[in-house]
Amino acid sequence: MVKVGLPAQRQEGSESQRELELTCMSNLLSATGERVYFKDLLSRFLLISAGWIAAYAPGRAANDLIGKTDFDVFSDEHASAALRDEQQIIRTGEPIVGKVELETYGGRTDTWVSTTKMPLRDSRGRIIGTFGISRDVTAQIKAENTLTQQALQLRAQNESLSGLDRLKDEFIGLVSHELRTPLASILGYVEILREEGANRPDTERCAEVIERNAQRLLHLVGDLQLLSQIQSGMMAMEFRRADLADIVAHAVEDLRPAANRKHIDLTLSVTAIPVISVDPTRIAQLLANLLSNAVKFTPDGGRVEVRLGTEGGQVVLAVADTGVGIPAADQDQIFERFYRTAIVRRQEIQGTGLGLTITKAIVAAHNGTIAVESGEDRGSTFTVRLPLLRVPPPSIPRS
Ligand code: ADP
């Protein structure tokens, strides 16, 4: 063992006292699992503990390492950083306490250690080197990282829950409004009919308004029911061979009166597509949602274009409008339930924020995709792609 002078007060003791201290030191260094080292002014090892050898130079003898430096054990990068610390301690006399460092080794897992490095002084207090002790804190750092990770996840979950909560509150307000408006209209027209009797010349128009509002209510209740089915993963589907071009043409005609009321130019272009297996009711619902949005969010005199065709083994349905558009930041969220952009809320355009959630679920049930291309005041194009799985024609039995 290389001898090192001990502090003054210790030297005042007897020879046997010094021997006892060296024995204690020797026992400590050979028994402790802590990584302890003593180095001279040139950062060459004077003494090292068994724990240090086990951690950094397993299998090597302590004597073999005395006089060597970190450059004989660690990577150049690691050894240079340690040398810089030691030079600083020697220059300033200031210790480095509890520094947490990542130690990287070739072929071994990286380790986090907490290190304290101090100046090594002789009996007169002069700095003659450095010494340090480091402890493996990998498990602690990993536990802390896991905790931080979990805290972040919890915070994200919390934020999304409170966001959902806020949306639900808004939704309850919206639904109440959406229920009250048609109900008030129905009650108003029933009263007119009752007061003025069936002889009134525009009875037919009153009945139409009542019917339209009752349909609106039915539609809303249907959407709510479907949403709860989607949420519980229980949306019922009935696939059968259907002519998509026909379904699209009907959906466009259903929307034409609403488009005409706003002087919107509603056009349809279809290229020949094969009969495919879909749920026709759900597809009609999907079209009604996309088309009614296009008409609803396009100002008077605008254009709505519906295109149906095939592309690369898929049916492609595009609904393009020249309406208010959707800012890029909203485009992912519009498919989330209850979500409505600030633009449409500001303009007080009616809606519940359910249509696109339902549309997306219908597209997914057909193994398809839906995408939107838009920008504020740039109009919007919704594109639905469905796999073009040809349904084989029914086989004719041979006689
Ligand atoms: P709703 O139409 O009842 O508000 P949707 O789920 O159908 O609900 O749509 C969600 C939101 O996406 C709308 O409120 C609107 O902000 C935006 N959006 C959907 N389609 C369009 C469109 N064609 N043009 C502009 N914004 C749209």
pLDDT digits (tens, 9 = 90+) for 260-282: 999 999 999 999 888 899 999 99
pLDDT at 241 over 50: yes
8-state DSSP, 5: P
pLDDT in tens, 117-168: 999 999 899 999 999 999 889 999 999 999 999 999 999 999 989 888 887 7
What is the chain's mean pLDDT, rounded? 88
- The reported pLDDT for the residue numbered 43 is 96
Measured CA to CA in angstroms, residue 277 lies from 11, 281, 380, 392, 395 at distances of: 96, 12, 28, 10, 16
Measured CA to CA in angstroms, residue 168 lies from 173, 352, 360 at distances of: 9, 11, 20
Checking phi first, is residue 154 left (phi over 0); if not, alpha (psi -120 to 50) or beta? alpha
- The reported pLDDT for the residue numbered 232 is 83
Ligand 1 atom closest to Cα of 325?
A: 25
Ligand 1 atom closest to Cα of 344?
A: 16
- The reported pLDDT for the residue numbered 393 is 45
Give the residue, by CA position, lying nearest to ligand 1 atom 12.
334
Are 284 and 278 contacting, i.e. CB atoms less than 8 angstroms apart?
Answer: no
Q: Give the confidence band of 387 by pLDDT, cuts at 50, 70, 90.
A: very high
What is the rounded average pLDDT of the residues 56-84? 90
Strand bridging mode 96-105 / 265-270: unpaired
What is the rounded average pLDDT of the residues 82-103? 93
What is the rounded average pLDDT of the residues 175-196? 86
- The reported pLDDT for the residue numbered 3 is 41
Q: In what order do the strands lie in the sheet with 96-105?
A: 45-48, 35-40, 127-136, 108-121, 96-105
pTM, 2 dp: 0.58
* Alpha-carbon span 196 to 209, nearest angstrom: 16
Measured CA to CA in angstroms, residue 235 lies from 262, 362, 366 at distances of: 34, 9, 12
Show the tokens assigned to 65: 């390492």
pLDDT at 390 over 60: no
Per the document, the length of the chain is 399
Q: What are phi and psi of 122, to 5 degrees?
A: -85, -170
- The reported pLDDT for the residue numbered 130 is 97
Show the tokens assigned to 176: 């109440």
User: Lowest mean pLDDT: which of 29-33, 105-109, 261-265?
Assistant: 105-109
Are 384 and 282 contacting, i.e. CB atoms less than 8 angstroms apart?
Answer: no
Show the tokens assigned to 351: 């809606």
User: Lowest mean pLDDT: which of 18-22, 104-108, 156-160, 253-257?
Assistant: 104-108
Ligand 1 atom closest to Cα of 357?
A: 6
User: Which among 331, 362, 365 has a CA at the least distance from the CA of 223?
Assistant: 362
- The reported pLDDT for the residue numbered 359 is 97
* Alpha-carbon span 60 to 139, nearest angstrom: 26
Show the tokens assigned to 68: 């060597």
User: Which among 185, 189, 225, 228 has a CA at the least distance from the CA of 205?
Assistant: 189
Show the tokens assigned to 26: 């020797």
- The reported pLDDT for the residue numbered 2 is 39
Q: Give the confidence band of 194 by pLDDT, cuts at 50, 70, 90.
A: confident
The neighbouring-strand residues paired with 47 are 38
Ligand 1 atom closest to Cα of 343?
A: 16
Pocket test for ligand 1, best of 266, 340, 348 (most atoms within 8 A of CB): 340
- The reported pLDDT for the residue numbered 12 is 53
pLDDT at 395 over 60: no
User: Which among 386, 325, 376, 333 has a CA at the least distance from the CA of 356?
Assistant: 333
Show the tokens assigned to 313: 């083994």
The neighbouring-strand residues paired with 221 are none
Show the tokens assigned to 178: 């959406």
User: Which among 114, 115, 94, 112 has a CA at the least distance from the CA of 103?
Assistant: 112
- The reported pLDDT for the residue numbered 193 is 85
- Give, for 217, the enclosing helix (H) or strand (E): helix 203-231
pLDDT at 4 over 50: no
Decide: residue 327, CB within 10 A, 0-12 exposed, 13-18 middle, 19+ buried: middle
Pocket test for ligand 1, best of 167, 177, 292, 344 (most atoms within 8 A of CB): 344
Cα torsion angle, 173, 176, 178, 180, sign? negative
The three-state secondary structure class of 300 is coil
* Alpha-carbon span 350 to 354, nearest angstrom: 12
Task: Report residues whose beta carbon is within 6 angstroms of any ligand 1 atom.
Answer: 289, 293-294, 297, 321, 323-326, 334, 339-341, 344, 351-357, 380
The three-state secondary structure class of 264 is coil
User: Which among 275, 266, 214 has a CA at the least distance from the CA of 247?
Assistant: 275
